[in-house]
Structure formats: structure tokens, C-alpha cells
Structure 1
């Protein structure tokens, strides 16, 4: 492949995407120059046909900051990069989330996206530009990807909006969000603010969507020059006889399960239904059936389970659309019952338990002095934190057995979102010269444990006597798309998150929004639907 390059001036900085010169054995590789920042984004997908059965997509995204990028040595005895930092893990999630829904639905080959920061210019933030670089690598590859996608950071200071500001730790922004999208729609939003209105937040998102348009265009121009031949879809023959048999067998028990309020009882019913389905499919094969591949019973059973999951998703969504009724009997806007217990741990500085339905968070607060602040020393950051929030999700919270491990990306991401939501009400150091550590222990989970963390954390702050002037609360919104119609759900359950089309978390005080996070599973979300969801929240 010959070297191909596209260049623009983006937000006053030179930006170029180059391919065909470096990392040529990857399926797609982009050398991104953004001012003095250099990013290498590569993508490789396993060869061969996609998995014949199932719809799981094994995508991994890893963002790595090399210390030499800033002319620095790594810390520690070994003086080399080792485990990824929290910031690197959070950035990996930031890249993953807008790209994942854009892959072809049928594509299930194992895929790996690696993004390396090779040169760091503090005036050119590498984290949000990594979304564009990774998307461009997919666009020029043979991987079926419905891009392009691009992202930018939008901030506001003293009433002035800025796009992709310099990487600084001391700027006092009242809005600081990352926006990712395609030409027509928003795909992801994440960030924090200082009690701003829905109108101001919507304006910031719109500005971000406008700002990424040149980034989308340059990716398309680059891809047209390469003109990659995308991998062809492998036709999967649908066993209509088996699908009909599954629907007839499971219709009544699925209907019963979708009317069962308690999660564990509902799951027990569904497990029972699957076990009965396997028995009946096996018996049908033994008696002589017209199922495809009947000489391979295990394959037929795998297909039957997939049809069962598909039918469950259809039935849940159909019930919402036609009956305005959700799994636990609520309508679309109702909130689950809430209970609060304060001061449950007598020897701690502050504690509270917040329960919403079957989601429960124990928030515990500890106060310290200046030397207890967390030191942050990464390639792109060098600072200290006097407020930190840690989120723990033990397996018992969902009735499972699992090995205890160090916090994963999900736990770090949920904790970071809750921390950003509450940081707006932490008193300044001049008024309250203490270090604050909040820990959220999730004791039950059935949807939106990160927002329960916001609520328990706010309560624990007040229980400890921290002079916060307002409470902050959070809620997760969901979405069901049916053609041109959109149904927005308040306070979603875990199943509504899993089987629905959106997870939209909004936190704030009575005076405005303090944090926001939106992820979708469809190819894009119209701005007006997002505005409706924000207002409903």
C-alpha cells in the first residue's frame, strides 16, 4: 500500500491522518499528528468466518500512554510501562463505547483496537482525538464498520464555549464533556458540569456535534482513497421451523416472567424455561424432526437458546410498546420505591444506605488531611486529588459466585462518573481543608448502581457533616426504538438496559446537571430524542 494522507486545520491546530507508512501488517493503521501530539491507532480482526452461532462480539480496546511521549521516565524500580493507569483504562472505555455499536451486526470475529500515545503536546489532547484515529483505522480496514465516528471535548468557561482545550488540571470549567457521533446523530456523551440547565447542556452537545463534522469528512476522504474491500457477510440460513417451535414452547412462560417483579424469581423462571426448551428440543430430535442440522443436536440446542433470547428481547420490547407496561409493572415514567438509612456504621465518619427497588448502595465517607490526597502522575496529568470516590461491585450483589479481583474498567468507570457528579458540591479547600474519600459498596444490583452510588455518596457527605449546600441525585434512563417511534424509560432495570437501546445516566441537584453519560446500542440517536430523555430525567 502506498502512503496516503489527509490533512486539515482543526480548531486552529494542524491535524493529519496517515496510513500506508507505519504498522502495515495491521488490518488498519493510522498515524495521527495533532499539533505535537502523535497517536498510532491500529486494528486487527481474526481471520475466517464469523462464529456460526451467537451474537457476542469479542472487541477489546486498549489505550496506552508511553512516558517517552512527554520526555519522561516511568516511575518505579523497573523504569518501564507496566499496568495501565486508571486514566488509560477510562480512556480505553471512552474509545470503545462510541465504536462498538457501529460494527456490522453479523460480525463476531475477535477484534482488537490498540491506541498508543507516542508524542504528547499539552495543547493537543490525545484522549478525545484517539476516538477519531481508531475510527479512521477501522474505515480503511476490511472490517465491516458503519463509520465514520469522531469525538471532541467541549468546555465552557466564563460563558465561552471551547472545543478541545489544552490539557490542564486547574481550569475552572462549568461544563466539561466529551461528545462522539456520526454525521447525523450523537453516539456517546460523557462529562461533568456545575449545576447547569438542560438547555445549556444540550447547547454544548450540539456544538460538539457540529465540531466533529470535519473529522468525519476527512475520514471519509481517506477511506475513499484506500477504497478497502470489506469482508462479506456470511449468509446464515435461518431455521424457521426451530424458531416457530421455540416461540410456541416458551410464549406463556416468557409472558409470566415479564410480569414477575423480583429479579431472582424472574431469572429462575427463565432458567426453568430454557431447561424445558432443551428437553423438548432434544426429544423432538430423537423422535425425528424437520430442524436443520438435526444430526448435530448440540448445534440445534445452541440455536434454540439464541432464538429464546431473541424472543425474550422481542416480548419485553413489545410489551412496552403496546401496553405501556414494563417488566416490574411500572409505566414508562415511574420510579421504583426508595428507602434511605443514615449513620448505619457507628465508627465511620459518615455512612448511608440508598435503596431504589432492587439496587442498593452503601456509601461510606472518610475525612483526611492534606497528606492523604491522591497523587496523580501520568503522562498527561500531574496533580493531586482531595476528593476521590471508589466503587466496588462484589458478586453477591447479583447473587453470583466469582473470584474477587482488582477493580475492572466497569468499576473504575462507574466510580469516575459518580465522582464527577458529586465533585460539583464538594466545598473548596479554603472553606473545607480536608481530603474526602467516598466508597460505594454495591449490596444489591438491578440497574443503575452508579446512580445509586451518587445518591448514597451525597447522603454520606451530609451524615459526616461536610458543609455541602445541596444534595445530588442520579437516575438512569432507557430507550426502546420502534421504527420512527422512541419510548423513553425512567429508572431502568438491568434487563431494560441489556435488552433496550440506550443507557443514559443523568445526575444533578435541584438547580442543574452535574454529570451525564450516554451510551447507545443503535447506530445513532437524534438530538431531539436525547433532549426529551434529559428533560424526563
Structure 2
């Protein structure tokens, strides 16, 4: 039987239709907002997955092109692998939900969010987070009992807008997603036009208030229609074994974790592993997984005690201290721009490539965006952590980190009119010990400046960490977290921006959310760190280079009357293709008449510009042109004065003396000077060779007289 519940958010109705579809799923529901409809299916395996030491949660965000009335592109004409946007949305759903499952739960859980209908005023990704939370709470076999709500927050005319529609999003200087339980904020994603910290914090608070209403709505539905949860099977290491391992190894692990040098610390921990293997695994090899889990928890306990009780970081830094930083530019000779950013053992090199506007990335998705001219990509090879594994295509993590860096720099990229190039940045992680995504932002700023891209201001990013006591009464915020602090800590709070404000935020947590005070303090401490890094960038390269690399294409812009675009393109593209063939340039024409010509050779670009200019010029009465004779008749000669524009030189206007036959003076193919004497009402152009010669002689005589006087 179908059950329907609804509530209002931002003046629009969210509706839940439960029990109508997907009846073999543990829980299936339709959630709608305006004309946007998302199908949510949640299921789990009957038993825990063997041989894993993590919770195997899978979130799938399935875009269907029929949801916006489109047929997919390409030869196959069906949806293939998820788009980058779909992957990012799936990650955004995963991050707030994962920490709310009970520790030790190892059953496979899959939540599939299928986008069935999209109204561009109501984005489906926010709807999917709410629907996934509710479906998990409503399920019988999945031990998820803490609902989360999610909203987007815009900023238009200094006012916060909850779930802004398409027009409001276009005007908004802030694109903020807030996800929270009824008590704490679980996840924030933000992109903004250099938003001050106090405004960003107030936006998060505004979103949190709306999230609490959505949580209350979900709780009402669960109370009314929810099923009694099946008691889950949770993994727990053998208690007797844990006691023995702790007694044997705790102090050795503690001593090792207090070694500040990373290599020495790892060597000491490896020695402990060898002793554990000799002591326990030789007689009981099946206990390896339990011992690994116990050792992991001992390390976590020691690191957290160091931070909370000893107020000491593993590498000896103060809580607000940034690792040593170095910046370099121009290290690759043939690329258009390079930046190498090093922070401690984290090192990222970003390479900038400039292309023509026809190199834009074409997007095939359910959103309104169709292409983009600024692209940021991120690679995380195995050697960056000193490991060996197969090199495959980018995974979800790489796509997410690339998108975050892209979001951080996008507000600073010059407009198409200011800088008519497609810009691609590729960040190569060369060494990783925490916060590579933020290092990629810093390296990308260096690369853009080195490439001569006139960005508004440099940007930098920093990752902030947190460790809390068991009762969450004590909170310690860490600046510039390294790998161990990320691994054993409670949050990864990434903040990027300029000296003026924040351009991107992404944070998620391993605990049941962050307090408002923690969020506020983190934002302001991140600003202090960001300004420190920006100063280092400024010391390396104060501003964009005055000239582009000699290997970069050169772009030129001109504007024509939009009505004359067809003259430049020609029938079937013949005219523009001829220009491209003759000059070797790339040409991009916009509907408003702007034309962008790109070429590695300046002279070729200038030649193409002149050809276009000639095509679009108007013939002016009184002007003299060097034209080409295209046809002769018994009454005169036809002369092309501009591409596609011919006029007639009457036989009486060919010479100063009487002309008996046109061919006595000119032949087809000759280039002759002609003056435009008249354009009649029908657009016919009348020319005179005689008048052009006379004026030319007068001009030459005048120039000679001037030279004599000098």
C-alpha cells in the first residue's frame, strides 16, 4: 500500500511516496520536490563480508537523460559510466551517512539514487541525500537510526536563500550545501566568490536550522511507517586476544608513535609488527585480521591521547603550525606554466595548458551547464605513497579532489572576454602525507601565474583536523593535518580561498557531527594559515607573467555585426573552412558576433583576422580599393573590391582616353585600383578606375612635395 507524506521547504513541497515502487528492496521510496523526482532503493547483504576491515557502503547516483527530455550522445545512445557530477553527488551522499552506522558493521550496504525527473529549479542531489537518509532509517535490515537533512544555501543581495532556484543560483555568490543531524553538522560543501568567514559561518548556521526541520520530518515518517530493526552482527576482536596483544605491544607501539621522524617511526612500527608476527601468528595464523584491528585501535588511542592529554602532535609541531613550505615555478621547459608546491612530505606539481575556445569540455548530463572552459584534474599515482599498485583511470577520490580544486579557483579565472583561452590544469601528486587536494590548489595558483593567466588574486588551501574526547566535551583543532592525523582524527576540514575570502570548503567527519563553535574556530584558524601560505606564493611569483609562454597559442578577438556571421561561415562552412585551411588557425564564433582566433603563429592569426575583417567590411562611397577583375563585358569590367562584394567599372571609367574594347585595358585576374563612386538603391556598386588613378597621383605628388620641403 502506498503511503504519502509531505512537508514544505523554501515555499515548495517535498513529497515522500513510500510502498508504491521497488517492493523487493529492503526500502524503496520516491522523493519529489517540484517536478524533480528521485527513486531511492536501499539494500544490504544478509551476512558480513568476509576478509574486510572496513564498512562496505556503496552509494550510487544514477542520472537518466530522459529525466530532462534528452537522448544521450555518442554512438550507443544510452547512459554509460557515471558522469563526474554524478560521482561527486554520490560522494556527497556517502560522507554524512557513513559515520552514523555502528562501528564493526561489515555487511554490504548499497543505496541507489536514480534520477527520474529533473526540474532545474529543484536540484536532485540535495533531494537524494534526504531520500537516502530516510530510506536507510525506514529499512528493516540496515542498522541506521540517525536521520540527516540536507539543504542548499545561496546568497543573493546579501540575503541567504534556502534551496535557491535556477535564476537565484545564477545570481548567487555562494553555493553551499549543508547536511546535519538534529544536533550537529555532518557535512559541508561550498563554493563562493571570496566569501568572508563570518558570512560563510552564518550561511552554515542558516542551513543547519533548515536541516533540523527535515530531520524532524523524517523522524515523523519513521515513527509512523518504519519497521523494527533487525539486530546487526558487529565485528569485534577476541577480547582475550586483545588483552594479550595490548600487554605485549602497547608500550612498544607507544614508544614508536612518539618518534617525530616519519621514516624512523615507520621503521620502529615495522619492528613491532615483526615481533607480533613471531609472538602470535606463527601459532595462530588465523588471528591476523584480529591482531591488525587491535593494533590499529591501539595506534589510534595513542595518537589521540598525545593530542588530548599531552597536547603534542606526532611530528612535534604546535597545533597551529604549518609544515615547511617551498614554492617553485617554470620547472618544465615546454609546458605553458608549471607550479611545484611542497608542504612537508606532501608535494604536488600542477601543469597549466592553454588552448583555443573550441577546446572547451562538452558536458552531457542532467544539469543546465553544457560546457566549461576551465578544467582542473588531479592524479594520485601509487608512487606518491611509496606503494605499488596497478595504474588505472581516475577513481572517485581523484575526481572529487580535482573538482574541489576546480571549485576553489573558478571564481578567480578571468572571463572569456578578458582571456579568450580554454584553461586546463593537471595536478600530479608526487608525494603524499596529508592534504594533497589543498596542495594542488596552491600548485595550481603557481601554475596559472607562471602561465600568465591574469587571475583576480592568488588562492591557497589548507586542511584542518580535529580530535575530540569520547564524550565530545574536549575539542582540539589542528592546522595542516598530516596523514596520521587524518587517519586517526575526527575530521578533514578543507578550506580554500584568497586574502579576501573563501572560495571553497569541503568537510566531512568520522564522528556524529561538529559543533557550531568548532566550525567557527576552524574557519578563522584556516584563514590565518591561508594568509601564511599566500605570502609564500607571493614571495615565489608576485603576479602573473607579463607574456605567455612562446609555446602557448596566441589568441585574438574581434567583433562583427551578428548579421554578418553567415558571411564568415559561408554556405556549408565553405568560407570559414577556407580561412582555416589557408592560415592554420582555430576560429570560434559566438552568437553575439565575437570572434576568437587562436594560433601558435602570430602572423597567421593576423592574416585570418584580416580575411574576416574584409568579409565583414561594408563598401564605402569615396573609398579606394585594390580590387580583382572577375569578369569583362562589352560595357565594362566587374571588380571584386572585398570578398563577395563586386562592382562595375563602366567602360567610360576605365581610362582617361576613349576605350574601344575593355580587354585593351584590363583582363580577368588583374588587380586594379578603383574608387567607389556610387551605391544605388538596389545595392549595386559603381566603380571608377580613372578617378582612383587621379586621386592616387595627387596623393603621390603631395607626398613628394612634403619630402622636398623636409
SS of the aligned residue for 1:212 comes to helix
2:319 aligns with 332
**In structure 1, C-alpha distance between the alignment counterparts of 2:380 and 2:326, rounded to whole Å:** 20
Counterpart pick for 2:359 among 372, 381, 386: 372
SS of the aligned residue for 1:56 comes to coil
**In structure 1, C-alpha distance between the alignment counterparts of 2:154 and 2:203, rounded to whole Å:** 8
1:150 aligns with 149
Counterpart pick for 1:477 among 444, 447, 464: 464
**1:57 and 1:110 in contact (8 A); partners too:** yes
**1:196 and 1:511 in contact (8 A); partners too:** yes
Counterpart pick for 1:141 among 139, 144, 157: 139
Q: Which moved more, 1:169-178 or 1:400-409?
A: 169-178
1:503 aligns with 492
**In structure 2, C-alpha distance between the alignment counterparts of 1:239 and 1:391, rounded to whole Å:** 41
**In structure 2, C-alpha distance between the alignment counterparts of 1:391 and 1:265, rounded to whole Å:** 30
2:252 aligns with 253
Q: Which moved more, 1:168-177 or 1:242-251?
A: 168-177
SS of the aligned residue for 1:377 comes to coil
Rg: which structure is higher?
Answer: 2
1:454 aligns with 441
CA shift at 1:81, angstroms? 1.0
2:10 aligns with 11
Note if 1:434 corresponds to 2:421: yes
SS of the aligned residue for 2:434 comes to coil
**2:148 and 2:179 in contact (8 A); partners too:** yes
**In structure 2, C-alpha distance between the alignment counterparts of 1:432 and 1:372, rounded to whole Å:** 14
Note if 1:72 corresponds to 2:70: yes
Q: What count of residue pairs does the alignment treat as equivalent?
A: 523
Note if 1:517 corresponds to 2:506: yes
1:410 aligns with 397
Q: Which runs of 5+ in 2 are unaligned?
A: 527-710
1:493 aligns with 482
Map Cα deviations across residues 449-503 of structure 1 (whole Å, 9 max, x no partner).
0000010001111111111242111100111011310011110011111111100
Q: Which moved more, 1:273-282 or 1:230-239?
A: 230-239
Q: What TM-score do the two structures reach when normalised by structure 1?
A: 0.94
CA shift at 1:172, angstroms? 3.8
Note if 1:115 corresponds to 2:113: yes
**2:67 and 2:115 in contact (8 A); partners too:** yes
Note if 1:341 corresponds to 2:328: yes
SS of the aligned residue for 1:405 comes to coil
**In structure 1, C-alpha distance between the alignment counterparts of 2:52 and 2:329, rounded to whole Å:** 46
**In structure 2, C-alpha distance between the alignment counterparts of 1:369 and 1:169, rounded to whole Å:** 31
Note if 1:194 corresponds to 2:193: yes
**In structure 1, C-alpha distance between the alignment counterparts of 2:160 and 2:508, rounded to whole Å:** 23
Map Cα deviations across residues 111-157 of structure 1 (whole Å, 9 max, x no partner).
11100001111111111110001111001102111321111111112
Note if 1:126 corresponds to 2:131: no
Alpha-carbon distance change, 53 to 71 in structure 1, aligned in 2, over 3 angstroms: closer
CA shift at 1:412, angstroms? 0.6
**2:42 and 2:109 in contact (8 A); partners too:** yes
Counterpart pick for 1:309 among 296, 317, 338: 296
Map Cα deviations across residues 377-420 of structure 1 (whole Å, 9 max, x no partner).
21223422111111011110001111111111100100111111
SS of the aligned residue for 1:466 comes to coil
SS of the aligned residue for 1:525 comes to coil
Map Cα deviations across residues 200-249 of structure 1 (whole Å, 9 max, x no partner).
00011011111223321221111112231112144767644422321232
**In structure 1, C-alpha distance between the alignment counterparts of 2:25 and 2:309, rounded to whole Å:** 48
Counterpart pick for 1:466 among 450, 453, 469: 453
CA shift at 1:334, angstroms? 0.9
SS of the aligned residue for 1:424 comes to helix
**In structure 2, C-alpha distance between the alignment counterparts of 1:412 and 1:282, rounded to whole Å:** 39
2:160 aligns with 161
**In structure 2, C-alpha distance between the alignment counterparts of 1:183 and 1:253, rounded to whole Å:** 42
Alpha-carbon distance change, 54 to 390 in structure 1, aligned in 2, over 3 angstroms: closer
CA shift at 1:271, angstroms? 3.0
**1:340 and 1:354 in contact (8 A); partners too:** yes
**In structure 1, C-alpha distance between the alignment counterparts of 2:368 and 2:49, rounded to whole Å:** 41
Q: Which structure ranks higher in relative contact order (CA pairs < 8 Å, sequence separation ≥ 6)?
A: 1
**1:274 and 1:305 in contact (8 A); partners too:** no
**In structure 2, C-alpha distance between the alignment counterparts of 1:487 and 1:86, rounded to whole Å:** 35
**In structure 2, C-alpha distance between the alignment counterparts of 1:257 and 1:167, rounded to whole Å:** 55
SS of the aligned residue for 1:305 comes to helix
Q: Which runs of 5+ in 1 are unaligned?
A: 287-296
Pairing 1:197-208 to 2, within 5 Å after superposition: 197-208=196-207
1:290 aligns with none
Counterpart pick for 1:318 among 281, 305, 321: 305
1:175 aligns with 174
**2:169 and 2:175 in contact (8 A); partners too:** no
**In structure 2, C-alpha distance between the alignment counterparts of 1:451 and 1:237, rounded to whole Å:** 36
**2:495 and 2:504 in contact (8 A); partners too:** yes
Alpha-carbon distance change, 154 to 240 in structure 1, aligned in 2, over 3 angstroms: same
SS of the aligned residue for 2:164 comes to coil
**2:32 and 2:127 in contact (8 A); partners too:** no
Map Cα deviations across residues 435-457 of structure 1 (whole Å, 9 max, x no partner).
21111000000000000001000
Pairing 1:276-291 to 2, within 5 Å after superposition: 276-282=275-281, 286=283
**1:30 and 1:134 in contact (8 A); partners too:** no
Alpha-carbon distance change, 407 to 301 in structure 1, aligned in 2, over 3 angstroms: closer
1:529 aligns with 518
**1:44 and 1:113 in contact (8 A); partners too:** yes
1:387 aligns with 374
Pairing 1:31-42 to 2, within 5 Å after superposition: 31-42=30-41
Q: Which moved more, 1:129-138 or 1:420-429?
A: 420-429
**In structure 2, C-alpha distance between the alignment counterparts of 1:376 and 1:12, rounded to whole Å:** 31
SS of the aligned residue for 1:522 comes to coil
CA shift at 1:14, angstroms? 2.0
2:58 aligns with 60
1:272 aligns with 271
SS of the aligned residue for 2:420 comes to coil
Q: What TM-score do the two structures reach when normalised by structure 2?
A: 0.71
Q: Which moved more, 1:211-220 or 1:361-370?
A: 211-220
SS of the aligned residue for 2:404 comes to helix
**In structure 2, C-alpha distance between the alignment counterparts of 1:54 and 1:448, rounded to whole Å:** 26
**In structure 2, C-alpha distance between the alignment counterparts of 1:39 and 1:77, rounded to whole Å:** 27
Alpha-carbon distance change, 187 to 170 in structure 1, aligned in 2, over 3 angstroms: closer
Counterpart pick for 1:101 among 94, 99, 102: 99
1:293 aligns with none
**In structure 2, C-alpha distance between the alignment counterparts of 1:519 and 1:385, rounded to whole Å:** 27
**2:104 and 2:234 in contact (8 A); partners too:** no
**2:353 and 2:425 in contact (8 A); partners too:** yes
2:575 aligns with none
**1:4 and 1:225 in contact (8 A); partners too:** no
